[in-house]
Structure 1
Amino acid sequence: MAFRKIPREIKIAAIQMYQANLLPLAIILDFLDFSYATFYRAYGLWLKTGDVVRHRHVTQGRKHLMHFSNIEYLKRIIRHHPDWFLDELAYLLETNRFIAANFTTVHWELVRAGISTKKIKKVASERNDDLRADFIRHMADYSPEQLGFLDEV
């Protein structure tokens, strides 16, 4: 059978039977139903590393440009100045943290950190003095008896 996954334990059992000279190799491989090439590949790994499978410790994909502390720095800036644009945040990263990042990189790092554009716009609109003054002016037209508040529960 070609291209099938042979469990690690089966490979180890075959190697141990081979090393103990319990059976000839041809009978072991015939009984376990895998080829000489597969056996010798696993046996070579066994002699070299002590295991019969290759462990991949390399993470897939590209390495992240920004470290955790840089993302926390961006979060602090956004908390104080949520109305700043992404290119301004990228400029601050370059001047204060010496990281040259495109504004799209800044955007995706913020999204990965859980800060969406919607959240930033909401906080920015709440901090907008003109919008806040308009809201207060509009609400001043009503008396306290005319206002009703509902809880979302």
Structure 2
Amino acid sequence: MPREFSKDLYWRIVYLYTDGLSTMDIANTLHMSKGVVNKIKKRYNRWACIINPFKGVPGRRKLFSRRDMTILRGLVREKVDWYLDELIYEMECLIGKRASIATLWRSLQYLGITRKKLQKAALERNEIVRAHYLATIGEHYTRNQLIFIDESAKDERSLSRLYGYSPRNTPA
């Protein structure tokens, strides 16, 4: 679809028209078609403005208002690893509007929230627990009694959710 001309150019059509120039002269001066000039002249004569006052927002009416979108953003920030159907149920409880999964997905995209793999800190990173473990091992065992097994892939939370939602360019 071609881009619209700017409002100041539309007003220039009106000024030249009120100065008495013909449609062809205005079109040649501003390097635009006669149809655009006629459309703006007709709109100005009918409504005394250059923008169509009856032109609405294209597309279907949006289900979620700005307030609803703010609630959704806060909900996703609070519950990063929820599934879409859980978010739908919670939104229905909070605002009373039932949305489809596709509608919720489009709303998340509009807010700039994307689905990404969750980054979970390993339980072994807790320095206090680690120091306590080393102290306990050091008290009760000698070096000859220890056997080491590679369990780097083991984590107690392996059954938890792997994906979550967060704003663009921020980790989940």
1:55 and 2:52 aligned: yes
Separation (CA, whole Å) in 1 of partners of 2:41 and 2:71 = 51
SS at match of 1:116: strand
Q: State the 1:133 CA deviation.
A: 2.1
1:17 and 2:20 aligned: yes
1:100 corresponds to = 98
Contact 2:84 2:104 in 1 (8 A): yes
Task: Identify which of structures 1 and 2 has the higher relative contact order when contacts are C-alpha pairs closer than 8 Å and 6+ apart.
Answer: 2
Q: Which has the higher helix share?
A: 1
Which AA in structure 2 matches 1:87?
A: D
Q: Which has the higher strand share?
A: 2
Instruction: Count residues with an aligned counterpart.
Output: 119
Aligned 1:1-153 pairs, distance under 5 A: 8=10, 9-10=12-13, 12-17=15-20, 28=22, 44-51=42-49, 53-55=50-52, 57-118=55-116, 121-122=117-118, 125-126=119-120, 132-136=122-126, 140=130
Which AA in structure 1 matches 2:123?
A: A
1:25 corresponds to = none
- Per the normalisation by structure 1, the TM-score is 0.52
Separation (CA, whole Å) in 2 of partners of 1:15 and 1:87 = 59
- Per the normalisation by structure 2, the TM-score is 0.48
Contact 1:15 1:43 in 2 (8 A): no
Separation (CA, whole Å) in 1 of partners of 2:92 and 2:115 = 21
Alpha carbons of 1:30 and 1:111: their partners in 2 closer, same or farther (altered >3 Å)? closer
Q: Point out where structure 1 has 5 or more consecutive residues left out of the alignment.
A: 19-27, 144-153
Q: State the 1:93 CA deviation.
A: 1.2
Alpha carbons of 1:15 and 1:108: their partners in 2 closer, same or farther (altered >3 Å)? same
Alpha carbons of 1:43 and 1:78: their partners in 2 closer, same or farther (altered >3 Å)? closer
Q: State the 1:106 CA deviation.
A: 1.6
Q: Which runs of 4+ in 1 moved over 6 A?
A: 36-41
Q: Give % identity.
A: 18
Contact 1:94 1:100 in 2 (8 A): yes
Q: State the 1:74 CA deviation.
A: 2.2
Separation (CA, whole Å) in 2 of partners of 1:77 and 1:29 = 56
